[in-house]
Amino acid sequence: MIKRFFGAFSRDIGIDLGTANTLVFVKDKGLVINEPSVVAVNSRTGQILAVGREAKEMAGKTPAHIAVVRPLLKGVISDFEVTEKMLKYFIQKVHADRSMLAPAPRVVVGVPLEITEVERKAVEDAVLSAGAREVYLIEEPMAAAIGARLPIEDAIGNMIIDIGGGTTEIAVISLGGVVTWKSIHVAGDELTRNIVQYARDVFSILLGERNAEQVKIRIGSASELDEPLEMALRGRDLISGLPKEIIVTDSQIREALARSVKTIIENVKATLENTPPELVADIYERGIVLTGGGALLKGLDKAISRAAQIPVRIADDPLTCVVRGTGVMLENPALLKIIAVPSARDDRGPATA
Ligand SMILES: Nc1ncnc2c1ncn2[C@@H]1O[C@H](COP(=O)(O)OP(=O)(O)OP(=O)(O)O)[C@@H](O)[C@H]1O
Ligand SMILES: [Mg+2]
């Protein structure tokens, strides 16, 4: 009765628990948290010192007893305890302004396609012990497609490519389900590592990950740019051990990224090859949609479009598509029940506390 009065999903939240970023959407409020999935821990006491942006700023600058950890790797939980603490921190932050009497929230979380039962259970357990009453998991590309407002329930082929930090997920969705897909671990983090490796091999410079990410974002590209770009790259000379600065160009960084870009493109083509021809015809007509932070790599849309011979567009605000998709699901419990991944705890319904 009370439940009906407040609405089935009154104060519920959607979470994109990403390798690089965690986003939280609250029903009727919108996006309230958008922070790096990074935690700083005192390794002597296990105490959490900072979460999110503040913790990310500490990376590479900490004394021995402080560890800056990314608890998710390749899109799944690698450090359960820290993930749970991070989620608890974010969920409590969201609920800080609410009455103590308010019930625990229902939570919808986006998870990778290629998730094992053990990993599914880890996500459910982490969310439940962080204070949720009920948890529903939905596949990230599905959430991304919903967030990008694609007509996923229709008998139409929609191709979505979600390029995050840890995983690139390529999926063809029709009639509310994923028809064909590929999930690979070549995504934003790998591109950043390619730049670190390139700086080491070509310039003998040891480059920090955060600097490498900045290089990728500012001048990284997957196809030739209209205007050439360059920037200073600062790191430690591997031979002298001293600080060194050199100027790199967009074409050098493009070369550093080329192999990973090619891997992504080959997997897009392979997914298309496995897709039934009717759906390929729809995709050909409607185009491919890119989401996730990696979608913003300059010229990636062009490179994919050229290789696949299909138009490609970047979704509006690609970094928030997954979480906005979970938000749409909070408004639509009937559809959520249909598309939610079965719980690892009980296959008959959502996981509950
Ligand atoms: N402008 C940009 N150009 C290139 N890459 C970018 C840009 N902005 C963000 N990125 C990259 O996008 C990645 C983060 O994207 P996103 O937040 O979608 O990942 P995630 O959802 O946390 O990861 P996953 O889905 O794999 O778990 C990072 O690797 C980041 O460096
Ligand atoms: Mg993601």
Note the pLDDT tens digit of each residue in 283-307: 999 999 999 999 999 999 999 999 9
Closest ligand 1 atom to Cα of 319:
18
User: 66-124 pLDDT, tens per residue?
Assistant: 999 999 887 788 888 889 889 888 888 887 666 555 677 899 999 988 888 888 898 89
Q: Is 161 exposed, middle or buried (0-12, 13-18, 19+ CB in 10 A)?
A: buried
User: 245-269 pLDDT, tens per residue?
Assistant: 999 999 999 999 999 999 999 999 9
Please report the pLDDT score of residue 97 as a whole number. 61
Ligand 1 pocket by C-beta < 6 Å: which residues?
A: 16, 18-21, 75, 164-167, 187-189, 192, 213, 216-217, 220, 292-294, 296-297, 319
Residue nearest to atom 21 of ligand 1 (CA): 18
Q: What angle do CA 211, 320, 159 make, to 5 degrees?
A: 105
Q: How large is the angle between the packed helices 250-274 and 300-308, nearest 10 degrees?
A: 40
Q: How far apart are the CA of 188 and the centre of ligand 1, in A? A: 5
DSSP lists the bridge partners of residue 289 as 160, 313
User: 54-69 pLDDT, tens per residue?
Assistant: 999 998 889 999 999 9
Sorted by where each starts, the structural domains of the chain and their CATH numbers stand as: 2-35+74-143+321-352 (3.30.420.40), 150-185+267-316 (3.30.420.40), 188-256 (3.90.640.10)
Cβ(43)–Cβ(62) under 8 Å?
no
Cβ(175)–Cβ(151) under 8 Å?
no
Q: How far apart are the CA of 184 and the centre of ligand 1, in A? A: 14
Cα–Cα dist 7/106, whole Å: 12
User: 38-50 pLDDT, tens per residue?
Assistant: 999 999 998 999 9
For residue 135, give the 3-state DSSP assignment.
strand
The enclosing H or E element of 195 equals helix 188-203
> Distance of alpha carbon 345 from its chain centroid, rounded?
24
Residue nearest to atom 12 of ligand 1 (CA): 293
Q: Among 160, 296, 298, 314, say which to mutate for ligand 1: greatest number of ligand atoms within 8 Å of CB.
A: 296
- Torsion (CA) 15, 17, 18, 24 in degrees, nearest 10: 30
Cα–Cα dist 7/88, whole Å: 24
Strands of 230-237's sheet in order across: 205-206, 230-237, 243-249
The enclosing H or E element of 178 equals strand 177-184
Q: What is the pTM of this model?
A: 0.92
Residue nearest to atom 19 of ligand 1 (CA): 164
Q: How far apart are the CA of 164 and the centre of ligand 1, in A? A: 4
Task: Name residue, tokens 């029709």.
Answer: 174
Q: State the pLDDT confidence band at 3, using cuts at 50, 70 and 90.
A: very low
- Is beta strand 134-139 parallel, antiparallel or unpaired with respect to 230-237? unpaired
Cα–Cα dist 159/124, whole Å: 28
